[in-house]
Amino acid sequence: MASVPADRVRAQIEALSTTGFDVFSFATTALNTLNRAVPFTAACIATADPATELLTGAVKTGSVVGASDELWAHFEYEVPDLYDHRSVARLPSGVTSLYAETDGHPERSPRFVEHLRPTFGFTDELRAAVRVDGTTWGFFTLYREDDRTPFTTLEHQFIAGVGAAFATGLRAGLLVGLATAPLTAVDGPAVLVIDRNGEVAQASIGAAARLADLDGDATAHDELPLALRSLIGSARQFAAGHNPLVPRMRLRTRSGQWMVAHASPLVGRDGGSTDVVVTIEEARPPEIVPLVVAAFGLTSRERDVVQLVLQGIDTAEISRTLHLSTYTVQDHLKSVFGKVGVRSRRELIARVFYDQYAPRIGAGSALAPSGWFAEPV
């Protein structure tokens, strides 16, 4: 890998990460650019909820376009293997490959033997966790076929070097395009019951509308979106005792709304786990505000200031609470305004807090005693 092209590609990816692209545009453009330095025949780049590292969506290129997310989730979550996305995120470099993990013997990987090789003809797979400021915002996977050599140590190092730029681009892409329309006309959460075969056994009224906004189809079991397939597979891990927490994630829909989805395994009368219940509902402020604030790329001190601003606390009180001078608080606010793209506290609060709920407010929805929007009469 020649150093001059590699340096040029790295600079181009770093520039792309700050152009304000949405996730799809950034992912496709960045992967095309990356291919000039690290050749591959197919790829998948996925966003993740940084709190759980579960995949919330994916952009694919090459022969994996249209491939079954159900089968992918099966091998990711239900078939023990040498590594998975979460273990890659724990590596110091955040990068590994099939050949590196198997010492050149990919047949040691069930995922390779049963899926990657027979389905696609791949000979090597490179996975990378993309992180910035200590937080994982997604992953990407590159594939090679017979006519390509395995991924090299130098290519591992190059990928590790552009991980932060990929994370910055994915993080920024989550905030592109504000919610401009009301949510689907569904009151309360949408619920799906997934049977042991991975099929939708039951669905609540309105679930189809929710799924459509997530790019899924409740009428076809193999058309559930990747995010839900990740949840279902992780729920089965939880039932088997391999995952300590009931899986949940925050994700953004095609219409720009933030949602929370979680999955719980049902236990049969014999004590065995069978079906999985998936619940999808609108995200509320305590769930989504930390994610939105983190996505702006603020420093830890800037986040502290913003959290107090969102509570309506004035500059003098922020100064006392954080043991900072008022001038320092104002400097932090100036920096925050620049990063968020606003000019005042009011605009900051609107950008962070009200984008998700503007359609309800605009429609005149009243607040219930609980502090949440009242159900329509």
CA–CA distances in Å: residue 326 to residues 26, 157, 322, 340, 344: 38, 44, 10, 21, 16
* H helix runs in the chain, sequence order: 3-16, 23-34, 69-73, 85-89, 98-101, 110-111, 153-173, 207-213, 226-239, 285-295, 300-310, 315-322, 326-340, 345-349, 358-362
Confidence of residue 179 (pLDDT cuts 50, 70, 90): very low
pTM: 0.83
pLDDT at 274 over 80: no
Q: Secondary structure of 209-268 in the HEC alphabet?
A: HHHHHCCCCCCCHHHCCHHHHHHHHHHHHHHCCCCCCCCEEEEECCCCCEEEEEEEEEEC
List, for residues 309-363, the tens digit of each pLDDT value. 988 899 999 999 999 999 999 999 999 999 988 888 888 887 876 565 555 545 5
Assigned superfamily of 3-173: GAF domain (3.30.450.40)
User: Do residues 300 and 373 lie in contact, with contact meaning Cβ atoms separated by under 8 Å?
Assistant: no
pLDDT at 46 over 90: yes
Do domains 3-173 and 286-355 share one topology? The answer is no
Structural domain 286-355, CATH architecture: Orthogonal Bundle (1.10)
Query: What ranges do the domains of the chain cover?
Result: 3-173, 190-283, 286-355
Confidence of residue 370 (pLDDT cuts 50, 70, 90): very low
Question: What's the average model confidence in pLDDT over 26-51?
Answer: 95
CB proximity list for 251: less than 8 A, separation 6 or greater: 47, 49, 56, 57, 214, 227, 258, 259, 261
Please give the helix or strand (H or E) that residue 376 lies within, else none. Answer: none
Cα 117-120-121 angle, rounded to 5 deg: 50
Among the residue ranges 93-107, 337-351, 361-375, the one predicted with the least confidence is: 361-375
Which residue is associated with the tokens 């792309």?
Answer: 16
List, for residues 52-61, the tens digit of each pLDDT value. 999 999 999 9
Write the class of the CATH domain 190-283. alpha beta
